[in-house]
Amino acid sequence: MRDTNILHDMLRKNCPHIHARRLDSLMLATEALLDSNQLSLTELGRNMKGPVAAKHNIKRMDRLLGNTAMHNDRLAIYRFHARLTCGANPMPILLVDWADVREQLRLMTLRASVSIQGLSMIVYERTFTFAQCNSPNFHQLFLDELAIILP
């Protein structure tokens, strides 16, 4: 069984409120990303498998990425992932740091990760504008959301 099938089954069981069509589109995007070398909307659409033309797949990815319900479901997915990575440890040590996403767009990512056997595993991340970087208000917003996610 391919890893995406296992992931699809686990998300369906542990995040049942995510709409089945959105979850299917998310898994298709995951498979397209695994088959591709680049992460962009058009590359995801072009690398999707199936009998549909590439332009329709690109439109499907555009609708998925712009879907507000999917953005609301992301906290549930992060919560499920945090239970898998931090559930056995009652006091995990989280590493939190800022990183540039796109220097041209002046976007920054605040990321919390846990070290597992020397590898960094992302538990939660959120993107902010450069103006919001190092702001106590946005640090608190990030910490509040992180507290919701952690088991």
> What secondary structure does DSSP assign to 85-124, as a single string?
HHTT-SSPPEEEEEEEEETTTTEEEEEEEEEETTEEEEEE
pLDDT number for residue 38: 82
Q: Any idea what DSSP says for residue 125?
A: E
| Predicted pLDDT at 88 | 80
| Length of the chain in terms of residues written | 151
Structure confidence by residue, pLDDT tens digits, 83-129: 988 888 878 889 999 888 866 677 889 999 998 888 889 999 998 88
Dihedral angle of Cα 41, 46, 52, 55, to the nearest 10 degrees: 60
Q: Give residue-wise pLDDT tens across range 28-75.
A: 898 888 888 788 889 999 988 888 898 999 999 999 989 999 988 888
d(CA 25, CA 41): 13
- In the predicted model, is pLDDT for residue 150 greater than 50? yes
